[in-house]
Amino acid sequence: MPRSEFYPPIDPYQAGTIAVDDLHTVYWEQAGNPRGVPVMFLHGGPGAGASPTHRRFFDPAHYRVVVMDQRGAGRSTPLGETRENTTERLVEDIETLRRHLGIERWHLFGGSWGSTLALAYAQTHPERCLGLILRGIFLMRKSEIDWFLYSMRVLFPEAWSAFAAHIPQKEQGDLLEAYWRRLDSPDRATRLAAARVWSVYEGSCSSLLPSPELIAASGEDTHALGLARIEAHYFRANRFTPEDKLLRDVHRIRHIPGAIVQGRYDVVCPVVSADELHRAWPEADYRIVPDAGHSAMEPGIRAALVQATERFKEYR
C-alpha cells in the first residue's frame, strides 16, 4: 500500500540566514538526513512563507530537506519588501543557497507560486535538477491573475464580495491597483487591513470544503502582510515576457523526471493551467485529484504529493 499520510513532525538540524543583497536577508533551514538526497521546498504566494508542516511531505531518512523563505516572506527580512524582488532574483537566491550548502543537484518541490518558481529555476538551471514535483500549477499569465481578482466570484461569491467590499465602489474597476495603493500605504494599519482581507479571500477559496483553520491562518499578520504585498507586487510588475514563457521553455526540462498534482476543483489555480503544462510536458506524471481544491493540506492532494516523493526516491 503506497504511503498517503504525512511523515511525523521533525525539527531542522540546521538553520540560518543569508544576506542575498544589501536589502534582503533570506531564512533557510535543513531537516531530515544530512547525507540524504537533497530536495528544495518552494512555498507559494508569492510571499506566503514556509511552515513546519512542509517538512512532512518527505521521508526524513531518505531526503535532505531544504526550506527557504523567499524574499520578503515568512522569516526573511524585511517582511513584505517588494524592492529588488523579482522572479529572476528569487532564482538567483535559490542558486546562492545551493552553492552555500554545497549541493550539486537537487529535487524541486513547489505548489501554486512554488510551481511557477520551480519551473523558472529548472528552465534556467536544468543541470541542477534531479526532478520536479509540482502542485496547483500557476504560470503567471494575465488570464490567471484576472481569474483570481474577478472570476473566482463565480464559485465563491461571498468571499469575493468581502474582498471587493474593502475597496470603494468607484475604485473597483481595477481591484489590483486599488489594493496596491493600500498595501503600499505608509500607514501600517491601512496596509494590514488590506492584507488581511486579501489573504483571507485567497484562503477562503483554497479548499474544496470549508476550512476554518486555513482561513484563520490566512488572517495572521505576518502571513497576510507578506502574501498580499508581494502577491500584488508580482501581479502588477513581474509577469513573464513573453507571457507564456514557462510553457515555451518546457523543452529545456522535458528530460527531467516530473510529477504534476492538481485538484480537479482548484479554484485559485484552475486545472486548465496544469492541463496545458502536461500537454507541453507529456513525459511528466500527471495526477488529477478528483475530490480536492487548491490546498496542499487536503487529504487527496497530500496523499498524491507524499506518493510522488516516494516514487522519486529512485532519482538521485
pLDDT, one tens digit per residue, over 92-145 is: 999 999 999 999 999 999 999 999 999 999 999 999 999 999 999 999 999 999
**137 and 147 share one domain:** no
Write down the pLDDT at residue 179: 98
Residue 37 lies in a domain: yes
Residue 213 lies in a domain: yes
Residue 90 lies in a domain: yes
Residue 2 lies in a domain: no
**29 and 136 share one domain:** yes
At 132, which amino acid appears? Answer: L
**45 and 97 share one domain:** yes
In contact, 23 and 84? CB cutoff 8 Å: yes
**155 and 287 share one domain:** no
**192 and 89 share one domain:** no
Q: Average pLDDT of the chain?
A: 97
Residue 49: band (very low, low, confident or very high) from pLDDT cuts 50, 70, 90: very high
Q: What amino acid positions are annotated as catalytic residues?
A: 112, 266, 294
**232 and 272 share one domain:** no
Q: Point out the domain boundary residue: 211, 237, 263.
A: 237
Predicted TM-score of the model (pTM)? 0.97
Q: Per the structure, how many domains does the chain have? A: 2
Considering only 47-56, 111-120, 209-218, which range has the smallest mean pLDDT? 209-218
Residue 8 lies in a domain: no
Longest pairwise C-alpha distance within the chain: 58
Q: Point out the domain boundary residue: 177, 202, 237.
A: 237
Integer angstrom CA distances of residue 193 from 87, 111, 155: 26, 26, 24
**20 and 124 share one domain:** yes
Domain that holds residue 86: 14-141+240-314
CATH of the domain at 83: 3.40.50.1820
Query: How many CB atoms sit inside 10 A of residue 88's CB?
Result: 10
pLDDT at 210 over 90: no
Q: Point out the domain boundary residue: 207, 237, 267.
A: 237
Q: What SS3 string covers 124-160?
A: HCHHHEEEEEEECCCCCCHHHHHHHHCHHHHCCHHHH
Closest CA to 312 of 107, 116, 5: 107
Residue 5 lies in a domain: no
**19 and 87 share one domain:** yes
**118 and 246 share one domain:** yes
Q: What does the pLDDT average to over 272-297?
A: 98
Residue 83 lies in a domain: yes
**79 and 172 share one domain:** no
Residue 292 lies in a domain: yes
**110 and 177 share one domain:** no
Query: How many CB atoms sit inside 10 A of residue 265's CB?
Result: 17
**126 and 263 share one domain:** yes
